[in-house]
Structure 1
Amino acid sequence: MTDIGHLEDTDIDLAIDEGEAGERRATELANRLRMVAAEDPLLAQDLVEGLIVALDRAMGGTIREHLEGPALGVADKVLADPEQAR
């Protein structure tokens, strides 16, 4: 029996819908943020805060409506800071 190695999702060429593609991109982003956080937690925090601000702008100031729990608390804190909200 031959060991063909570990297959990744990206190794399989399957047609996926836009929702699945978006979910995969979000998962990849989260994984990359975790890797950055392991190396440089302050940089990761800055990246997350910048992402929250950018998403809030792109969504017309409605990001809070799509968050709950700790994520909502972080967004409230970041967006309340006039320096961040620019």
Structure 2
Amino acid sequence: MTTIDLFVDDSDIDVAIDDRDEGERRALELAQRIRMVAAYDPGHAQRLVDELIVQLDRALGGTFREYLDGATRQIADRALSAGGAGISPPRNS
């Protein structure tokens, strides 16, 4: 009897196990993109983060801060205290 060993390189396969894993992967990609923007234009990156915070708060019915603590809550408070000034409302699809 002969045994054949096969080496399969599956490093390029990106299959999410469930929706939560897919969401985490997309969040990590977004964070990396914001870091790249911050390297070139920190002010623009901060505006993007502020907009993201405001939109998450809107999507969660104004409860986004409840999921945060410490420094992250202070950052969210600062972004939300501006009331989304300069941030366009959500578009209807």
TM-score of the superposed pair, with normalisation by structure 1: 0.79
- How far apart are 1:55 and its partner, in Å? 0.6
Q: Deviations over 1:56-82 (max 9, x none)?
A: 001000000111221110111111124
- How far apart are 1:34 and its partner, in Å? 0.4
- How far apart are 1:84 and its partner, in Å? 2.8
Give the helix-richer structure, 1 or 2.
Answer: 1
Comparing 22-31 with 69-78, greater Cα deviation is found at 69-78
Residue 78 of structure 1 aligns with an amino acid whose one-letter code is A
Question: 5+ unaligned residues in a row in structure 2: which ranges?
Answer: 1-10, 88-93
Q: Deviations over 1:17-46 (max 9, x none)?
A: 111111000000001100000011000000
Aligned residues of 1:50 and 1:84 also touching (Cα < 8 A): no
Give the Cα separation in 1 of the matches to 2:81 and 2:44.
20
Give the number of equivalent residue pairs. Answer: 77
**Residues 74, 16 of structure 1: alpha-carbon distance in 2 compared, 3 angstrom cutoff:** same
4+ runs deviating over 4 angstroms:
none
1:31 is matched with 32
Task: Establish whether residue 78 from structure 1 lines up as the match of residue 79 from structure 2.
Answer: yes
Comparing 74-83 with 51-60, greater Cα deviation is found at 74-83
2:22 is matched with 21
Give the Cα separation in 2 of the matches to 1:41 and 1:35.
9
TM-score of the superposed pair, with normalisation by structure 2: 0.74
Give me the CA root mean square deviation.
Answer: 1.9
Bigger Cα Rg: 2
